[in-house]
Amino acid sequence: MARILIVEDDLDLIETYTDLLTMHGHEVRSAIRLGEALKALEEVPPQIIMLDLQLPGARAATLAEFAQTAKRVSGAAIIIVSGHPEMMSSAGLLDAVDLVLVKPVHNPDLLSFVDRMITMQPAPAVHQG
């Protein structure tokens, strides 16, 4: 079981990931803005953060700063989940990110990566869904 924080602005997708992950025994919280996410990770430090690249009002530099802070505060593994993986290069996030998943992410893949993340710290990689 892992504590997972989903940072995503699409409410339907949050609900979907939450259903999937909770039904597999994980504890899930969510935030639709980075400010909310920072508060959430201080309250209950997650082991994994699933971070969307396109959040309202969040520029590339803000995302990179959030990822670095989140890593420092919680030590969580960070998974970028995005429909725009090419934005990674401009976001300058690579140093703080453990894995990049391209939407749509297949359920078995997501569950398997989450399991792997809580047992090891893999090198940064990009997985095309």
The residue (of 24 and 29) whose beta carbon lies closer to other proteins is: 24
By the rule CB under 8 A, 17 interacts with other proteins: yes
By the rule CB under 8 A, 105 interacts with other proteins: yes
Q: Which secondary structure element, helix H or strand E, spans residue 127, and what is its range?
A: strand 126-127
Site track for other proteins across 65-104, x = CB under 8 A = ------------------xx-----------------xxx
Q: Which residues contact 43 (CB under 8 A, 6 or more apart)?
A: none
Q: Single out the residue of 59, 68, 61, 54 nearest to residue 96, CA to CA.
A: 68
Q: Which residues contact 12 (CB under 8 A, 6 or more apart)?
A: none
**Where does this chain bind other proteins (CB under 8 A)?**
10, 12-13, 16-17, 19-20, 23, 83-84, 102-107
